[in-house]
Amino acid sequence: MNLTIAEIRELPLAAALLDRDGELIAGTPEWPGAGPGTVLFALRGTRLAVASEASDPASAALLDRLLDAMDETAEVSEGIRRGRIAMLATSLRLVAGRSVSTSGTSHDVIDLAVAGITARTGLEVRIDGRPAFPVDAPEVAALVLVQLAVNAERHTRTTSVTLVQDEAAFHVVWPGEASLTAVTTARSHRDRQRWGLGFCRIAADTLGGAVYPPAGRGDGSVAATLELGLHDLSLPIAAIRGQRVLKATRTWDEETGCLPGAAIEPGTRLSACLEAAAGAPGAVVTRDGWTARLARERTWVAIPPDDVLDRARDVLDGITHERALWEGIAPAQEARALALALLLGARLGAPLPRVPAGVWNRRMADLAPAFGLQMAVPKLTALGAVDPRVASYLAAELGSEMVSDGDDLLLRIRPAAREDDRLAGLVRVGDAVRLS
């Protein structure tokens, strides 16, 4: 879908069209200027910038620490494990809205995808080779193929897949017939229950491509496809006149199924957006996460990109979902990344996990030397304590001493670190935090 300068100014978002140098071409009245959390969408050699809601700086800082820890884990790993972790680390950085600048070829995508598929599934993987073509962020494209293969195994019970590269596209192919079941997922964290296919759509958007659901190839096989090189506007947005969709982006079609020419069903979220916009002409209104604006006898409706906090939740979901890609990494590297994930989760409202005393003492005996802790670690006598991965990480990064106070186990914090964001969610006791 093409947008004119006048239409850019009508979009129901805090948005602006920027040239290649970042200079403003046109913007909506709500545009505050680029800042943390701004999302960029390619648009005909320019970029459409969309500002997200203000974020919690402490959560953003924890997210950056977690992403850096993932990258460091990949760098110190070797062989096939390095590729698997790099694939996950780069993909999570993209999901978080951070810049990803790696490049490679389609052969890199295939090699990484094979490494991921063999970790996540029991599938036999075959390769239909072609001459290599350039690919930006090959790690991300590879993880899309991994997810497509995982879904093929889970939903069709196939025992093998073939990876095919075809000009600017990749296909995951398996024997069988195409199902008529529609793909159900969403780009927005709030609108989906599972991580995998939502990640695929976000990844394809960022790579300038699209993901297509399984379709028959006419030879007794089915293929799910990642196509690159499209560079369409990937912001889900539609223009509606009267009670019909006038025009829309491909991503809007994918998210809503309400294609150009379709009538608006009463009682839907889209109908609620139209009613709200009609009651406040010219203003941006929000209904159930979607935004709308009535301008020049038509209503623009958009599905805004997630804010920083929802992107952080997506990163945590991805770490859990792709756990098989982590198998066998060094204990200290694993503990560092997972501790940061748990601390970020606590910042976002989840409780810090606790373990029984016996488990805590046993695990700390292994983690203390892995982290090179110089302090003594007292035996825990309380019923339980904060996950030892969190305790050992905080002790190594911020602690000066671990002491027992009756049944309490305390970690004294070095003076320069007492306001560190990583201590959020822990109970303070003077210059210490309570671990038990």
CB 200 within 8 A of CB 209: no
Among 302, 321, 356, give the residue marking a domain's end.
302
Classify 226 as helix, strand or coil: strand
Burial class (CB in 10 A: 0-12, 13-18, 19+), 220: exposed
Residue 417 has pLDDT above 90, yes or no: yes
Partnered with residue 15 across adjacent β-strands are 50
Q: Tell me what the pLDDT averaged over the chain comes to.
A: 92
pLDDT of residue 183: 59
CB 204 within 8 A of CB 211: yes
- Is residue 188 located within the same domain as residue 255? no
Partnered with residue 227 across adjacent β-strands are 169, 210
CA-to-CA distance for 37 and 45, rounded, in angstroms?
A: 22
- Which two tokens mark 211? 């993901």
- Which two tokens mark 309? 């906090």
CB 357 within 8 A of CB 385: yes
Q: What is the mean pLDDT of residues 344-352?
A: 91
Tell whether 71 is covered by a domain: no
Residue 46 has pLDDT above 60, yes or no: yes
- Is residue 212 located within the same domain as residue 89? yes
Q: How confident is the model at residue 425 (pLDDT cuts 50, 70, 90)?
A: confident
Tell whether 11 is covered by a domain: yes
pTM: 0.91
CB 68 within 8 A of CB 76: no
- The DSSP result for 410-435, as a single string, is EEEEPGGGTT-GGGTTSPEETTEEE-
Residue 282 has pLDDT above 70, yes or no: yes
Among 227, 256, 289, give the residue marking a domain's end.
227
| DSSP tally for the chain: helices H, then strands E | 12, 22
Tell whether 320 is covered by a domain: no
Q: Note down the domain range covering 285.
A: 5-51+236-302
- Is residue 92 located within the same domain as residue 200? yes
CA-to-CA distance for 293 and 284, rounded, in angstroms?
A: 5
Q: What is the mean pLDDT of residues 389-414?
A: 93
Q: What is the mean pLDDT of residues 13-24?
A: 94
CB atoms < 10 A from the CB of 259, how many? 12
Q: What percent of the chain has pLDDT over 70?
A: 99
Q: How confident is the model at residue 391 (pLDDT cuts 50, 70, 90)?
A: very high
pLDDT of residue 6: 95
- Is residue 257 located within the same domain as residue 215? no
Residue 229 has pLDDT above 60, yes or no: yes
- Which two tokens mark 404? 């027992």
Tell whether 12 is covered by a domain: yes
Residue 424 has pLDDT above 90, yes or no: no
* Residues in contact with 304: Cβ distance below 8 Å, sequence separation at least 6, in sequence order: 13, 50, 52, 289, 290, 291
- Is residue 392 located within the same domain as residue 424? yes
pLDDT of residue 328: 83
Among 302, 318, 340, give the residue marking a domain's end.
302
Tell whether 404 is covered by a domain: yes
pLDDT of residue 290: 96
Q: How many domains does the chain have?
A: 3
Sheet hosting strand 46-50, strand order edge to edge: 24-27, 15-18, 46-50, 39-43
Tell whether 391 is covered by a domain: yes
What CATH code is carried by the domain that includes residue 92?
3.30.565
CA-to-CA distance for 205 and 226, rounded, in angstroms?
A: 11
- Is residue 172 located within the same domain as residue 200? yes
- Is residue 169 located within the same domain as residue 198? yes
Q: Could you tell me where the beta strands, DSSP code E, fall in 92-145? A: 103-105, 124-128, 134-136
- Is residue 82 located within the same domain as residue 223? yes
**Closest residue by Cα to residue 170 from 147, 187, 199:** 147
**Closest residue by Cα to residue 301 from 317, 290, 309, 288:** 290
Residue 96 has pLDDT above 80, yes or no: yes
**Closest residue by Cα to residue 370 from 328, 332, 330, 326:** 332
CB atoms < 10 A from the CB of 288, how many? 11
pLDDT of residue 130: 86
- Is residue 273 located within the same domain as residue 336? no
Tell whether 310 is covered by a domain: no
pLDDT of residue 54: 67
pLDDT of residue 119: 96
- Is residue 253 located within the same domain as residue 192? no
CA-to-CA distance for 121 and 139, rounded, in angstroms?
A: 18
Tell whether 314 is covered by a domain: no
Residue 182 has pLDDT above 60, yes or no: no
Residue 36 has pLDDT above 80, yes or no: no
Q: What is the mean pLDDT of residues 259-280?
A: 96
Helical segments of 327-417, H only: 331-347, 357-370, 388-398
Q: What is the mean pLDDT of residues 194-221?
A: 91
- Which two tokens mark 74? 């990949």
- What are φ and ψ of residue 231, in 5° steps? 55, 35
Cα-only R_g, the chain? 24
Q: Could you tell me where the beta strands, DSSP code E, fall in 29-145? A: 39-43, 46-50, 103-105, 124-128, 134-136
- Is residue 83 located within the same domain as residue 152? yes
- Is residue 197 located within the same domain as residue 104? yes
pLDDT of residue 177: 84
Between 292 and 231, residue with greater pLDDT? 292
> Per-residue pLDDT tens for 292-341?
999 999 999 999 999 888 999 999 999 999 999 988 888 889 999 999 99
